């Protein structure tokens, strides 16, 4: 996740050509810079410099176009927010970052020069164990056709209370919750269901995608070889069912 994007961002920060920054097939090692996104948003975008597509200080977010996937965007807070484990996300006055990201969903299709149905789009944030950067970022991109089909097959079992999907995805067992609107913060919705959110949130991943006339909120938790990377349900090549 993000390895191609990191090549570009490191290049932007250092002035090195992306083609020269690292050989193809780069693997991000533990000593990579986990603060690249924060340095871009805080150090460059805040001063009106590239590479942000949008920098909205009033609403507290920036939008970056990732080079991993033709139409993938990253929604990033303009303040320092580490990730899922950040207590600041549970404050009532905090921006609804998922709703802000969803407002830019049409940009995905624009980059492909075609209309992409909302049902084929998704938002995802990885757990603290399944991410490469220590600045909150929500991935906006297409949904994997396998997950879309799984959700469509099991729509009847997804309701207003958390329940596990009858089928796993990549051997990972997701919980699902139906949302009528995007008005509520997914972070606060998840926290309300945890016994100790201040300790548990960082182990979770969250995904939002349309379902029926509303949306489904998906949750997975770290365990065994599952790092709870909700980004796994996305398709960065955007090969939808109609393509």
Per-residue model confidence as pLDDT tens digits over 128-139: 999 999 999 999
How many Å apart are CA 192 and CA 158, to the nearest integer? 18
pLDDT, tens digit (0-9, with 9 covering 90-100), for 200-238: 999 999 999 999 999 999 999 999 999 999 999 999 999
Q: Taking the model in full, what pTM does it have?
A: 0.89
How many Å apart are CA 170 and CA 179, to the nearest integer? 24
pLDDT at 29: 39
pLDDT at 3: 47
**Ranges in the chain, pLDDT < 50:** 3-30
| Other Cβ atoms within 10 Å of 236 Cβ, number | 18
Sign of the torsion formed by the C-alpha atoms of 223, 209, 34 and 134 = negative
Would you give the distance in Å from CA 127 to the centre of its chain?
10
């Amino acid at each position: 996740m993000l390895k191609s994007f990191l090549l570009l961002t490191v290049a932007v920060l250092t002035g090195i050509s992306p083609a020269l920054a690292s050989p193809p097939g780069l693997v991000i090692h533990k000593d990579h810079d986990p603060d690249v996104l924060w340095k871009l948003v805080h150090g460059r975008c805040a001063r009106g410099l590239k590479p942000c597509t949008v920098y909205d200080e009033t609403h507290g977010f920036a939008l970056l176009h990732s080079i991993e996937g033709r139409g993938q965007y990253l929604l990033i807070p303009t303040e320092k927010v580490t990730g899922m484990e950040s207590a600041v996300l549970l404050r009532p006055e905090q921006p609804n970052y998922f709703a802000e990201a969803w407002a830019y969903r049409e940009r995905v299709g624009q980059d492909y020069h075609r209309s992409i149905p909302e049902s084929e789009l998704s938002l995802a944030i990885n757990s603290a164990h399944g991410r490469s950067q220590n600045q909150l970022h929500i991935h906006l991109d297409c949904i994997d056709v396998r997950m879309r089909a799984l959700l469509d097959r099991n729509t009847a079992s997804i309701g207003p209370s958390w329940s596990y999907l009858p089928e796993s995805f990549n051997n990972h067992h997701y919980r699902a919750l139906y949302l009528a609107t995007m008005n509520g913060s997914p972070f606060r919705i998840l926290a309300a269901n945890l016994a100790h959110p201040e300790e548990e949130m960082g182990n979770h991943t969250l995904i939002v995608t349309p379902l029926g006339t509303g949306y489904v909120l998906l949750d997975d938790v770290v365990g065994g070889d599952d790092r709870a990377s909700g980004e796994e349900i996305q398709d960065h090549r955007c090969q939808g069912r109609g393509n």
